[in-house]
Amino acid sequence: MITAEELYGKLKDIQVGNPVCQFTPEHCEQLLPTIKKIEDLKREKNALILVHNYVAPQIFYSVADHTGDSYGLSKIAKESNADVIIFSAVRFMAETAKILNPEKTVLDPNPDGGCSLADGITAEDVVRLRKEFSDYTFVCYINTTAEVKAECDVCVTSSNVYAIIEKIPNDKIYFLPDRLMGENIIEHLKSKGVHKDIQLWDGSCYVHEEYQPESIDQVRRNYEGVEILVHPECSTAVVGKADYVGSTSQMLNHVRESKRDTFFLLTECGLTGVLQSEFPQKTFAGSCTLCKYMKSNSLEHILKVLENPEPDSVITLDPEVQRRALQCVERMFEYST
Ligand code: 13P
Ligand code: SF4
């Protein structure tokens, strides 16, 4: 188990401007009893805790068995031998772990873990669209409910979306629910000289849709040699001005390998915090934005779900939805090999 000193060592460089991210040695000391209870219960129940890159750093750096992006964590969930999986992120990620592990107990400790993308389209919407676009391959972003995945052909994440859409043998693709990511797919295919008819649903991430290309111009003026990293949920205008586009883990790996020493990230604050902690000698310029859904995770919620989960925290799926959603997610893994 991590000590208070080690935890403070991980958290002390995180200064993303939010009170939750400003830590003192005393605060780390106060977190220890809850961390210890979680670690004990985790061992007792053979539980695995998966934590997304955006989740608060005191969770990310204490009780997580694995951290990562939605693709990496899904892969770990798929390969896990644990009896219980606790997914500290948002609802659709916990649901994806259940789709991949129907026989395991999957717990969502975050009672407010929605997502503006996943909440923006229903299975009924997809059923209706499939009638209208009957010869299209339906590709859903992982940020969708299990019911929506069950109605789609292939799931993708921000780390593999471009490569999978290129590989799909059909030239007619309906991509949902993220319109901005869909527009980035269209630009990417154009740049590769690949012609496909891409139809889009009008959903968006309420965090990433706010970023404007002008902030990139300003940062380039203020920080000579800065490297701009953005998530593909941003608009094409933002992505078009960036130096690197990728999933949260891809951005982290990119910073690790980059020769530059100043970076500007247009994504959720959690990732900026992790990077500040991992690379204290590098500079991370500018602002970031909080995702209220990811930030509603807490150590107390994780402890509660291990001690005595509320019925709503135990992921249950209709068996037919689970079976059909699994096909959709499995196709992603097939395309990714
Ligand atoms: P990643 O798969 O890149 O971690 O993204 C998930 C997400 O919700 C981004 O807003
Ligand atoms: Fe959903 Fe956006 Fe939050 Fe990611 S950042 S979980 S896409 S609302």
The number of C-alpha atoms within 13 Å of 48 and in the hemisphere containing its C-beta is 21
pLDDT at 329 over 90: yes
Q: Examine the domain organization and report whether 77 and 91 are in the same domain.
A: yes
> Is there a domain that residue 84 lies in?
yes
Q: Examine the domain organization and report whether 264 and 189 are in the same domain.
A: no
How far is the centre of ligand 1, averaged over its atoms, from the C-alpha of 158 (Å)?
7
> Is there a domain that residue 321 lies in?
no
> Is there a domain that residue 325 lies in?
no
pLDDT score, position 286: 64
- Any idea what DSSP says for residue 120? G
The domain of 218 spans 208-285
Residue that is written with structure tokens 């154009």 in the block? 190
pLDDT score, position 296: 93
| Residue 139 CB partners (closer than 8 Å, separation 6+) | 152, 153, 154, 155, 156, 164, 165, 168, 173, 174, 175, 176
Tens of pLDDT, residue by residue over 149-167, are 999 999 999 999 999 999 9
- Determine whether the shortest distance from the Cβ of 205 to ligand 1 is under 6 A: yes
Q: Examine the domain organization and report whether 198 and 216 are in the same domain.
A: no
Residue with the larger pLDDT of the pair 9 and 96:
96
Q: Examine the domain organization and report whether 240 and 266 are in the same domain.
A: yes
pLDDT level of residue 9 (50, 70, 90 thresholds): confident
Question: What is the number of other CB atoms lying within 10 angstroms of the CB of residue 212?
Answer: 13
pLDDT level of residue 102 (50, 70, 90 thresholds): very high
> Is there a domain that residue 172 lies in?
yes
pLDDT at 69 over 60: yes
How far is the centre of ligand 1, averaged over its atoms, from the C-alpha of 72 (Å)?
11
- Determine whether the shortest distance from the Cβ of 178 to ligand 1 is under 6 A: no
Q: Examine the domain organization and report whether 122 and 107 are in the same domain.
A: no
Phi, psi (deg, nearest 5) at residue 111: -65, -20
pLDDT at 21 over 80: no
> Is there a domain that residue 89 lies in?
yes
pLDDT at 19 over 60: no
Q: Give the chain's mean pLDDT.
A: 94
Percent of the chain surpassing pLDDT 70: 98
How far is the centre of ligand 1, averaged over its atoms, from the C-alpha of 70 (Å)?
6
Q: Which of 205, 232, 257 is the last residue of a domain?
A: 205
Q: Examine the domain organization and report whether 79 and 101 are in the same domain.
A: yes
How far is the centre of ligand 2, averaged over its atoms, from the C-alpha of 26 (Å)?
31
Residue that is written with structure tokens 């959903």 in the block? 203
The number of folded domains in the chain is: 3
Q: Examine the domain organization and report whether 67 and 140 are in the same domain.
A: no
> Is there a domain that residue 60 lies in?
yes
pLDDT level of residue 289 (50, 70, 90 thresholds): confident
Tens of pLDDT, residue by residue over 32-42, are 999 999 999 99
- At 74, the amino acid letter reads S
Which protein residue's CA is at the shortest distance from atom 3 of ligand 2? 291
Tens of pLDDT, residue by residue over 41-61, are 999 999 999 999 999 999 999
Mutation test of ligand 1: which of 50, 51, 54, 74 has the most ligand atoms closer than 8 Å to its C-beta? 54
Tens of pLDDT, residue by residue over 201-252, are 999 999 999 999 999 999 999 999 999 999 999 999 999 999 999 999 999 9
* Count, residues in the chain: 337
> Is there a domain that residue 330 lies in?
no
- Determine whether the shortest distance from the Cβ of 70 to ligand 1 is under 6 A: yes
> Is there a domain that residue 335 lies in?
no
Which protein residue's CA is at the shortest distance from atom 2 of ligand 2? 205
Element at 84 (helix H, strand E):
strand 84-88
Q: Examine the domain organization and report whether 104 and 126 are in the same domain.
A: no
pLDDT score, position 14: 85
Q: In what order do the strands lie in the sheet with 154-156?
A: 154-156, 137-141, 172-176, 197-200
Q: Which of 140, 112, 114, 142 has the alpha carbon at shortest distance from 125? A: 140
Q: Which of 205, 236, 257 is the last residue of a domain?
A: 205
Q: Examine the domain organization and report whether 16 and 101 are in the same domain.
A: yes
Mutation test of ligand 2: which of 141, 206, 209 has the most ligand atoms closer than 8 Å to its C-beta? 206
Which protein residue's CA is at the shortest distance from atom 1 of ligand 2? 115
The ligand 1 atom nearest the CA atom of 251: 3
Q: Examine the domain organization and report whether 82 and 21 are in the same domain.
A: yes
- Determine whether the shortest distance from the Cβ of 247 to ligand 1 is under 6 A: yes
Q: Examine the domain organization and report whether 162 and 213 are in the same domain.
A: no
- Determine whether the shortest distance from the Cβ of 183 to ligand 1 is under 6 A: no
Residues with C-beta less than 6 Å from any ligand 2 atom: 90, 115-117, 143, 205-207, 233, 268, 291, 293-294
Q: Examine the domain organization and report whether 37 and 129 are in the same domain.
A: no
pTM metric for this prediction: 0.94
CATH number at residue 72: 3.40.50.10800
- Determine whether the shortest distance from the Cβ of 69 to ligand 1 is under 6 A: yes
- At 36, the amino acid letter reads K
